[in-house]
Copies of this chain bind each other. A is one copy, B any other.
Amino acid sequence: MLQTRSAKRTAAAAVKIATDMVKEGLISKDEALQRVEPAQVEQLLLPRFDQKEVDKARSAGRYLAKGLNASPGAATGRAVFDADRAVALKGQKQLVVLVRPETSPDDFHGMVAATGILTARGGSTSHAAVVARGLGLPCVAGVAALDIDLQKREMRVGGKVIKEGDAISIDGTTGEVFAGELPTIAANFREEKELIELLSWADKRRRLGVWVNADTPGECRLARELGAEGVGLARTEHMFREAERLPIVQDMILAGDTAGRKRALAKLLPFQQGDFNEMFEAMDGLPVVIRLIDPPLHEFLREYADINVEIAVAQATGRNGTELEKKVRIFRRLEQLHEDNPMLGLRGCRLLLVYPEILEMQIRAILGAAIDSAEKGIKAKPEIMMPLVGTMGELDRLAAQVTEVAQQVFKERGKRVEYKFGTMIEIPRACIIADQIATKTEFFSFGTNDLTQTVLGISRDDAQKSFLTRYVEEKIIPADPFQVLDRDGVGAMMRMAVERGRKTKPGLKIGICGEHAGEPSSVALCHELGLTYVSPSTYRVPVARLAAAQAALAGGAARDR
């Protein structure tokens, strides 16, 4: 009877029924843990629309369109069609829904400022979807019915014209879009007493640790409340993208010589050190894994993507403003930096080896902040993580450089702090030589986004629009490998890395910080592989806690820590 109704149960009811049945002695705690779906836990923590208001809006003709439910939750706010305007309106204390044909890293500051994201193009692994899930923002993507006119700052959809500033509401759980404001009901984890109890039972069963991917002190505090036991991935480049810092980062890149880069990096140092100080404070006593800069430098120059067009037009029309010379200079540098396949290019530790001054600044910021924290009585536990390592030649040099900078910082400050040194495992070669890598590192963290890209030879950003969606639809592959870990391929390489790494160093700490860390069947695979922890995005921490417990119960394993 209960079984047949399960599809209709709301998430809240599922949790309540399960915990009530335990209290009534009808089922065991383990049975309760197995009766709630991890996806239901995620929904419980998201703001949602009041169903009565949704029905009302629908009958009032305010329903506009439906797209892909790319990141769950409900959001309402003023429609805005570019990132800078989103930031400006946020500054005026307005709630904003950012609407774009599709998003790119240039829109990041606007996405952070928004309460929800709506795009006309892109699938579940599009930039918009992935970033929105990372930020815990509702996102409806790939709404083909949207006809956006960026010039006029308006869109046509469902027979209506929505102008910039008009209110819209999006439901990332259902994919629906409405005109006007719909009141949202905020979730409050602290009030979800039954869920908190259920998850406390989960914690006793799970063997996997649950950490979190977090880039800001706010995310850290929230994640801790949701049960995160550490930060498994802090992406330093996200800190580079904030408004006041981006121009300094761009100066560094455009400098073109070491002295110029060092001047810019000296300006960035206090920002980064400040960020780390706040994060260490938020995570007081818990480990924080900080990944050094990862993306190719040209990602910070996307606003100049059409500069060649601007130059050509200026030259053709003779309107050669004073800006032209600067533009030509920027264009030349962009040409130097251009890569046909940036995903496989100058990024990650390669960047740190070519520009060691970036590594130096970042290590100074991390260890400087750890010392600052210690002086304030805060227990910082920094773990320095190198991205994209594939050879021992790279790792040996990186380890030596980190040690050298650390010694300098300790000497200058007259104080030492503990830190760990580890690597991402995100290209196949790193899995193959994991036994060697383990000789020089204290932890591994699987970057399963990149590992999936390289093991399968599939670019995440491109594949969705061109063939991956079709592959899933036609059952050529069982699921999108960027959502659900590819057990036979990527999983096999992970198993190799775990076995080889722990052969060198039994008990080596091994985590996962890719998107998969919050997806239940992928969490189960991580459990099977014997990983130490999973590190999902903030709102998926409770999901991972339950999924990890279910994996342990399925495997008959008791929690052994």
Contact between A388 and B427 (Cβ–Cβ < 8 Å)?
no
Contact between A345 and B463 (Cβ–Cβ < 8 Å)?
yes
Given contacts A317-B317, A428-B493, contact A340 B461 (CB under 8 A): yes
- What is the size category of the interface that chain A forms with chain B? 35 or more
Indicate whether A394 reaches chain B with its CB closer than 8 angstroms: yes
CA distance A455 to B342 in the complex (A): 16
Q: From residue 302 to 352 of chain A, which have CB atoms closer than 8 A to chain B?
A: 306, 308-309, 312-313, 316-317, 336, 339-346, 350
Indicate whether A151 reaches chain B with its CB closer than 8 angstroms: no
Contact between A342 and B341 (Cβ–Cβ < 8 Å)?
yes
Indicate whether A442 reaches chain B with its CB closer than 8 angstroms: no
**Complex interface: chain B residues within 8 A of A476 (CB):** 353, 391, 393-394, 397
CB distance from A298 to the nearest CB of B (A): 11
Segment from A19-27, A222-230, A466-474 that makes contact with B: A466-474
From B316, B461, B489, A313 is in contact (CB under 8 Å) with: B316
Closest B residue to A350 by beta carbon equals: B467
Indicate whether A441 reaches chain B with its CB closer than 8 angstroms: no
CB distance from A252 to the nearest CB of B (A): 17
**Complex interface: chain B residues within 8 A of A471 (CB):** 353, 393
Contact between B342 and A462 (Cβ–Cβ < 8 Å)?
yes
Indicate whether A76 reaches chain B with its CB closer than 8 angstroms: no
Closest B residue to A336 by beta carbon equals: B106
Indicate whether A191 reaches chain B with its CB closer than 8 angstroms: no
Q: From residue 445 to 467 of chain A, which have CB atoms closer than 8 A to chain B?
A: 450, 453-459, 461-463, 466-467
Contact between B433 and A341 (Cβ–Cβ < 8 Å)?
no
CA distance A471 to B351 in the complex (A): 12
CA distance A146 to B493 in the complex (A): 46
CA distance A344 to B458 in the complex (A): 5
Contact between A346 and B316 (Cβ–Cβ < 8 Å)?
no
Contact between B388 and A466 (Cβ–Cβ < 8 Å)?
no
Q: From residue 403 to 428 of chain A, which have CB atoms closer than 8 A to chain B?
A: 426-428
Contact between B391 and A477 (Cβ–Cβ < 8 Å)?
yes
Given contacts A316-B313, A343-B344, A344-B463, contact A456 B470 (CB under 8 A): no
From B344, B433, B477, B493, A457 is in contact (CB under 8 Å) with: B344
From B336, B456, B461, B475, A341 is in contact (CB under 8 Å) with: B461
Contact between A489 and B457 (Cβ–Cβ < 8 Å)?
no
From B105, B308, B467, B489, A429 is in contact (CB under 8 Å) with: B489
From B308, B346, B393, B429, A475 is in contact (CB under 8 Å) with: B393
**Complex interface: chain B residues within 8 A of A346 (CB):** 462-463, 466-467
CA distance A428 to B433 in the complex (A): 15
Q: From residue 343 to 384 of chain A, which have CB atoms closer than 8 A to chain B?
A: 343-346, 350, 353-354
21 A-B contact pairs sorted by A residue (CB < 8 Å):
A106-B336, A344-B344, A344-B453, A344-B462, A344-B463, A346-B466, A353-B471, A388-B457, A390-B456, A390-B457, A390-B489, A391-B477, A393-B471, A393-B475, A393-B476, A394-B476, A428-B456, A429-B486, A432-B455, A450-B457, A454-B454
Q: Which 4 A-B pairs have CB atoms at the shortest separation, nearest pair first?
A: A344-B459, A427-B457, A393-B476, A341-B459
Q: A105-B336, A340-B343 are in contact. List 14 more A-B contacts (CB 8 A).
A: A312-B313, A313-B316, A340-B342, A340-B459, A341-B342, A343-B459, A345-B463, A346-B463, A353-B470, A388-B457, A393-B477, A432-B455, A432-B493, A454-B454
